[in-house]
Structure 1
Amino acid sequence: MMNHIGLLASIALNVTLLGFIVFSVRKARLKNQSRKKPIVKTASNLRTISCPSCSQHIKFTLPTDGNKARCRKCHAQFKLDIDDHRNVYITEIKLPEDDRNIKSLADCYSILGLSADAIPLDIKAAYKKKISEYHPDRVGALGIKIKQIAEEETRQINAAYAMLQEHGMV
């Protein structure tokens, strides 16, 4: 009788251990399956290209409406050509015209808030003052739009100062 109880206890222990092992294996499989990224199926006519100007990803479907495309980020326009094998080629590009380009030294002085007869010391002081006012890190807490405006102003100030340096004014 004692041997039967020992045998039953041994079988119960083995079944319990086997159940624990099976449970652990299933748990490990589920954990590994959740780590795998799901396979995303894309349509065969969906294409993605990078803007030649700003490297922004642009998605479109074939066939395209016309053969012109425009980047939403930098507004560059380009022409798309598609061959017989459905490969896409960018053949022309027209960069957006910037209305705020600095065209003369007078523009540089006006951006820095100086008169045309300013000496190099005044130019450097005005540059440092303007940069400290408009630096994006200083106005970052005021919102995204204000930060974008500050970034544009900083670009203008740096371009004006660089142009003055190129012409030997600083």
Structure 2
Amino acid sequence: MSPVSRSRRRLVGLAPAAAGLAVLVAGAVGVLLAGPEHMAEVAGVVALLTLAGAAAAVTSLSLMARRRLAELQHLPDLGRRFVTHHEHGRVTRVTEGQGHLVVHLASEQVQTIVLDEAGAPDHMTPGMAETSSWRMSTARLSPPQVAALKEKLTTGDEITVVSSGVVALTGPVEKSWRLTSSNGLVVSSGRANG
């Protein structure tokens, strides 16, 4: 963590204390300026300001907690295996890097099935459209083979990808995948066949 982000966290952590201190100082100044005969009114205003600040803090904390819980909705499945089906896909583009191709796929229906400890389906996500990227190693292929692979991927044929992995703290982590095309192409986790 950088020193700048640490200092920002400290400032954010000190903000409620500084706001509370400011309310108390304002109350003390109010008592001094208004005199002892108006102490009850000043104390009432300080109490109302304190309650308003507390209500705002509680609301802010609840919104922050709700957002954080939404990010961690996968925690009940931690350590479980999953299988994701990307059905009715079309290749939108293929990019070439050093020793690999990246296939960008738009699928009409993507559904993830979380498996229980015995490997049986436990629950699944509703099928929805999604885009994904799949990296293929071309290190052991000759340039003509890479060109043929790119050509087979970009013919417009329907693509299906089945991936599997484990749910980790950061979310689902894919361990292996298998891409099949209606033109007969099969690619599995970096190896091209067909």
Question: What TM-score does the superposition give when structure 2 sets the normalisation length?
Answer: 0.28
Whose helix fraction is larger, Structure 1's or Structure 2's?
Answer: 1
Whose strand fraction is larger, Structure 1's or Structure 2's?
Answer: 2
Which structure has the larger Rg? 1
Question: What TM-score does the superposition give when structure 1 sets the normalisation length?
Answer: 0.31
